[in-house]
Structure 1
């Protein structure tokens, strides 16, 4: 039966929060795990340290790593003479199922040939759910992989060309890096990292994919939503004049929470309830609001210079490390401020939007299907366009498969990693109460959240939620 047992010492008065408190306890050396669902066993895994030896600069990392490729298909892109691209999925939960349905709906020249997940029921259940796609699905029982090592079976399978990753974000940097190292094409959900250590791994993987001539497409669907593309093109073409300032809002009424099941270890529980533990989700600013942050980086032409923020918690369960709300003032180059807010509080008004103020007018870009518009300085609407987020979800998968078949690789991991690190920058500023700059978070920070000596059956003490003034900037 479920119960509300919490990890030990969750009170921030006893111990500073893991996210920005102690690098000594959290080195860049940790095994990884393939799914958001309840784990079942323990094993030894490769470590992130392999991908961090050469430091921050991607060119240096690639120079040290290119000779160590673990060749699965010769580290070569898919043979474009093939009739179809063969796909394996890692993480068969809700987002994994969504990605499967999106790619199966829009692509013809594909075959889904393998599924991996920790939960022994999920691969078979998902295979049954996508069976209606008939000849696009050809998954033998031997290609339904379960357990903590199941992602490795996907990477070691020479019949798989493209791997879709829909696991908790904390695992994503290493999994993507290992897939690229194995010569696979990749689809990676957002965010692509939850700490600066993961960001450096992403830089390695991006550069290695470029060297391999393999594709990496990420789950930032707004980059392919028609009204977003057109609105931002108009901004860049000068329709609203010079950008003066902007605001981002990702405000919703709540998020899921799973009660602990009796008999779970701390590690098992945290993976089961992964949204509420920062080493896995990055908190809401990274896991959810990264969509707005990615949009603003797109508008502004790159990440911000600095961040200063605040926030707190009022309604979270006692053992959740998440905050209810985060507010950050980002400063972009050219002295262009952006006011950011994300919030998950029941019975509050939701709002998902990006507003860009220019010397000639204002552009408003809403999330979902609400659309985008431009108004002049007097408030008269001069342009508008409806949104279609469903089409955008599918388009990212079409662009990916087309890039493979046409031997024209798309490698967009760095731009999403930059946006993920921007979210981390904002979180670090809010959690610590400090003004944090991009140079620090991208080059100097030693923050690595993944637990040392990762063990599915082990105790894993949660440090609790962050408290500004007590939580340290590292």
Structure 2
């Protein structure tokens, strides 16, 4: 299912986004070669910029940054659903694997894969070479989430259209960078489409339209769950520095993944924000860890109560525990009925207060994965850019809000996270051979809220 650490511990890395910007600007930015894991949202922007979008049949040249499982899945979806596009460049920390990846893509897509050897970029500055390439129109970012805010902002500054995987940030400092990138994209008339595919899954779109049209009356409350089994964990290779290992095993380090609630469960949080019309006012939660491997900073379960405007409470739970019962669902309670929207392909249904089913629709997740890429390319060609980065940043920060509440054991408000928090998980002055602080998981009551 969905694409798919410094923790907020007692000595968190803090500071504003200038630290993150300084690191990215000095050439220490890391392009990681690992997976990160609706109708189109409202199209924003004024008059379209003069670009490849001037012709509805123009050829669009794509580039992929982050060629792990999610990245190769994303480029495969784009090449599959779109005509007259080609993969023109590819970048990854592990440059030596790119030739084989392009060979495999060529077997599936033929001459849609047109990557010259000189445009297979490896190493810490690989993404910059893609952004400097005038032959690239659209960049797909599927690196670990911690890198995403600055990478996307740099792409917007370079005049590229963007597909960005979710989540779009893992801390408040990254959120502010996302908002800046979103505003610049609107001003530049460049698109940013994100990997929140439920926004384009037909049963989600129809169910939420019905909710907004009053199918269950006033929305009173909801429960949402993303409960799955275990997650991968990679063994450190001989000779790896701390930085190299943490990026290699990125899911387990909070500065890279944001923990499960951000990296994976953000899909359900995004659906709830969509239903509720925006982010919550506050979060209060708890959780813990029982099964994570030694050295992992992740918790394996969180339960968060989100308070939304109108005094509406959403009870949210996520976990990754082997052999535990899974559940991926959103249940919305209204004054006249109940709507249930399941993840993946299970579909959606509405029942009245007596339990009678009054509507249902099957799900098709595979089509949604592809539709987000079709919407992006169509928006580029039409000159009517889709810019949805802030919406996904809002959902990503909602996940972070819940994590901050659970990690610290305190109630955390949206206003605090957006306007006051100094939490910036990105390591200062990071380089590939650097030593990093000993991994430490959060402990409520000891972990500080910053």
Does structure 1 conserve the Cα–Cα contact (< 8 Å) formed by 2:13 and 2:427?
no
Structure 1 residue 22: deviation in Å?
A: 4.2
Structure 1 residue 20: deviation in Å?
A: 5.1
SS in 2 for 1:97: helix
Structure 1 residue 213: deviation in Å?
A: 0.2
User: How far apart are the structure 2 equivalents of 1:79 and 1:114?
Assistant: 20
- Residue 42 of structure 1 corresponds to which residue in structure 2? none
Structure 1 residue 27: deviation in Å?
A: 5.2
State how 1:66-105 maps to structure 2 within 5 Å.
Answer: 77-81=51-55, 83-105=58-80
User: How far apart are the structure 2 equivalents of 1:464 and 1:260?
Assistant: 17
- Residue 212 of structure 1 corresponds to which residue in structure 2? 188
Does structure 2 conserve the Cα–Cα contact (< 8 Å) formed by 1:432 and 1:467?
yes
Q: Does 1:376 align with 2:346?
A: no
| Aligned match for 2:166, one of 176, 190, 193 | 190
- Residue 38 of structure 2 corresponds to which residue in structure 1? none
TM-score (norm 2): 0.92
- Residue 118 of structure 1 corresponds to which residue in structure 2? 93
> Any gaps of 5 or more consecutive residues in structure 2?
24-28, 36-48
User: How far apart are the structure 1 equivalents of 2:246 and 2:377?
Assistant: 34
Does structure 1 conserve the Cα–Cα contact (< 8 Å) formed by 2:62 and 2:85?
yes
State how 1:416-455 maps to structure 2 within 5 Å.
Answer: 416-455=392-431
State how 1:39-438 maps to structure 2 within 5 Å.
Answer: 77-81=51-55, 83-131=58-106, 132-438=108-414
Deviations 1:134-168 (A, max 9, x none): 22111111111111111011000001010000000
* Deviating more after overlay: 127-136 vs 27-36: 27-36
Seen in structure 2, the aligned counterparts of structure 1 residues 23 and 77 have a Cα distance that, compared at 3 Å, is: farther
User: How far apart are the structure 1 equivalents of 2:331 and 2:280?
Assistant: 16
Deviations 1:286-323 (A, max 9, x none): 00000000000000000001000000000101100000
Does structure 1 conserve the Cα–Cα contact (< 8 Å) formed by 2:13 and 2:425?
no
User: How far apart are the structure 1 equivalents of 2:268 and 2:185?
Assistant: 26
TM-score (norm 1): 0.87
Structure 1 residue 272: deviation in Å?
A: 0.5
SS in 2 for 1:355: strand
Deviations 1:354-395 (A, max 9, x none): 000000000000000000000000111110000000000000
* Deviating more after overlay: 433-442 vs 75-84: 75-84
> Any gaps of 5 or more consecutive residues in structure 1?
1-6, 8-16, 39-74
Does structure 1 conserve the Cα–Cα contact (< 8 Å) formed by 2:142 and 2:165?
yes
Structure 1 residue 33: deviation in Å?
A: 1.2
User: How far apart are the structure 2 equivalents of 1:129 and 1:430?
Assistant: 43
The RMSD of aligned alpha carbons is: 1.5
Q: Does 1:19 align with 2:8?
A: yes
Deviations 1:316-372 (A, max 9, x none): 011000001000000000000000000100111110000000000000000000000
User: How far apart are the structure 2 equivalents of 1:309 and 1:246?
Assistant: 16
Deviations 1:148-196 (A, max 9, x none): 1110110000010100000000000000000000000000000000000
Q: Does 1:34 align with 2:34?
A: no
Deviations 1:208-243 (A, max 9, x none): 000000000000000000000000000000000001
Structure 1 residue 26: deviation in Å?
A: 5.2
Seen in structure 2, the aligned counterparts of structure 1 residues 470 and 162 have a Cα distance that, compared at 3 Å, is: same
Seen in structure 2, the aligned counterparts of structure 1 residues 378 and 392 have a Cα distance that, compared at 3 Å, is: same
Structure 1 residue 261: deviation in Å?
A: 1.0
> Which 4+ stretches in 1 moved above 6 angstroms?
none
| Aligned match for 2:436, one of 443, 451, 460 | 460
Does structure 1 conserve the Cα–Cα contact (< 8 Å) formed by 2:33 and 2:94?
no
